[in-house]
């Protein structure tokens, strides 16, 4: 039997289609991981990134001392002026130097605290009845030193008078008993000392 040319051409074409279908089946049965690029994963870093800490950094002691203001020290307390009750007032013996008569008056701090003598002491020469013969005016307080006395410590002032009246050159006719007022006080202390009443003076304490 004679086969037509059209049939002969169709047979090889059908065989070729079968072969192609087999190849396609083989490709479909292979594992997808070997041919698909989507299965290849990028290399991951082996070291984990450091996590931020939650604690805020604390200032070091050096920075704290350098930036924090330092409290200022309180100034020392100034001792109070010596009150009359804080002092014992006494006089030494009278010394003579020519016509000059001198006596040292001591002021002793008998209190348990430090006190300050401020200004000049005052002095008077009085009669036996208490009448003032000579008043020695106090000098200004701003001209006198401030003298601190520890408990039991003494300060002295020098009282002077002349046995001669410097105005006339005659002997000073009268004497009086010494009365002293301590610095920064108003109470007088009668001392067992007699001095001429002429040109009487009293120094600052020292």
Q: Is residue 16 part of a domain?
A: no
Output the pLDDT for position 78. Answer: 84
Write down the residue that tokens 């009669």 correspond to: 127
Domain presence at residue 74: no
Task: Tell me 103's DSSP state.
Answer: E
- Specify the DSSP element, H or E, that contains 159: strand 154-162
The pTM assigned to this predicted structure is: 0.62
148 close to 116: Cβ distance less than 8 angstroms: yes
- CATH number for the domain spanning 152: value is 2.60.40.10
pLDDT along the chain (206 residues), means of 10: 45 43 46 44 50 56 54 75 96 96 98 92 94 85 80 96 93 95 93 95 89
Query: Is residue 27 in some structural domain?
Result: no
Residue 114 included in any domain: yes
**pLDDT for residue 109:** 98
Contacts of 131 (CB under 8 A, 6+ apart): none
Query: Does 54 map to a domain?
Result: no
63 found inside a domain:
no
Number of domains in the chain: 1
Q: Give me the domain span that covers residue 135.
A: 84-202
Query: Has residue 3 been placed in a domain?
Result: no
């Amino acid at each position: 039997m004679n086969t037509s040319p059209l049939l002969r051409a169709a047979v090889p074409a059908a065989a070729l289609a079968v072969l192609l279908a087999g190849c396609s089946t083989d490709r479909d049965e292979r594992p997808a991981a070997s041919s698909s690029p989507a299965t290849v994963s990028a290399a991951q870093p082996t070291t984990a990134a450091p996590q931020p800490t939650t604690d805020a950094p604390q200032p070091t002691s050096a920075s704290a001392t350098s930036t924090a203001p330092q409290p200022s020290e309180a100034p020392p307390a100034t001792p109070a002026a010596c009150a009359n009750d804080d002092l014992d007032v006494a006089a030494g013996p009278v010394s003579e130097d020519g016509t000059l008569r001198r006596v040292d008056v001591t002021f002793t701090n008998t209190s348990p605290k430090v006190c300050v003598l401020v200004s000049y002491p005052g002095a008077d020469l009085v009669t036996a009845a208490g009448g003032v013969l000579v008043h020695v005016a106090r000098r200004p307080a701003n001209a006198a030193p401030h003298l601190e006395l520890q408990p039991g410590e003494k300060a002295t002032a020098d009282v002077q008078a002349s046995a001669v009246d410097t105005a006339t050159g005659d002997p000073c006719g009268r004497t009086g008993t010494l009365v002293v007022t301590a610095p920064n006080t108003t109470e007088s202390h009668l001392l067992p000392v007699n001095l001429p009443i002429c040109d009487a003076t009293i120094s600052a304490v020292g």
